[in-house]
Amino acid sequence: MQEKLKIALIQSNLFWENSRENINGFNMKIDAISSDVDLIILPEMFSTGFSMNPEKLSETMEGFSVSWMREKAIKKEIAIVGSLIIEENGNYYNRLIFTKPNGEIHTYDKCHLFTYGGEDKVYSSGNERLIVDYKGWKICPMICYDLRFPVWTRNSDTYDVLIFVANWPKPRISAWDTLLKARAIENMCYTIGVNRVGVDGNNLEYIGHSQVIDMLGNELNAIDNEKEVVFKVSLDKSTLMESRNKFRFLNDKDSFSIE
């Protein structure tokens, strides 16, 4: 087990529906990150922005963006996570890709599709959570709108880190801030939210507020969260376990099944 997990969050503007430009931008940002990082987190639909045009923009698991993630992870000896548009068996998915330094790939298809934005009209939803074992840490990655659904994110697997990659717009940013803290407190885990900045092709404005929160609801980063930025944070396993062993809140959680 690795006692500390060093993470880099990339809060970036995105070129609208332009995967090549976005990949070029993330290439430069990742290359500028020193090698003492274990995991890099990108926003939701990092290669296109939150687009409802999957027929034009989708890739396969053997496509350019996934291949880039895998090759970059291997070259930098680092894990990379983010979501993008994937076509599979005639269906389109908002799919999260978690790529390990050895090239191993784990995937999660967004469960809660954003009906207000019409996501459910063009994408298929997933129905299985993903827990990734990485360097002795159990990580549960989710996508944007999943943040609003505490039953789906409930810590029944004793995961250590909950991640949300997002395109969460400015008008509802207060909900983003509040719900990230709630998910951290109720699940007694580190919770990370990585959001984008800038204006997309639908004229929606994003102001970031990417953040890292500990198991007691304390913010671990204090930066100007409304600009493009790459920042690092170190998570401590002993601090997490000491808090859990002291308070034992998870022992009192309700039992339920998801249908």
Which of 29, 72, 119, 144 is the catalytic position? 144
Q: Which of 73, 83, 7, 1 is closest to 38 using CA atoms?
A: 7
Helices marked H in 119-258: 119-122, 150-153, 173-187, 237-247
111 is known as an active-site residue? no
User: Token digits for 189?
Assistant: 């885990």
Q: Indicate the SS3 state at residue 213.
A: strand
Which of 44, 59, 100, 140 is the catalytic position? 44
Which residue has tokens 């969460």? 168
How many CB atoms are closer than 10 A to CB 257? 5
Length reported for the chain? 259
Question: Residue 131 and residue 235: Cα distance in Å, rounded?
Answer: 17
44 is known as an active-site residue? yes
How many CB atoms are closer than 10 A to CB 127? 8
Looking at residue 188, its amino acid is M
Which residue has tokens 């890099």? 40
4 is known as an active-site residue? no
Instruction: Estimate the crossing angle of helix 19-31 against helix 64-76, to 10 degrees.
Output: 10
Which of 29, 72, 100, 110 is the catalytic position? 110
Chain centroid offset of residue 180 CA: 12
Q: Indicate the SS3 state at residue 147.
A: helix
Which residues are the active-site residues?
44, 110, 144
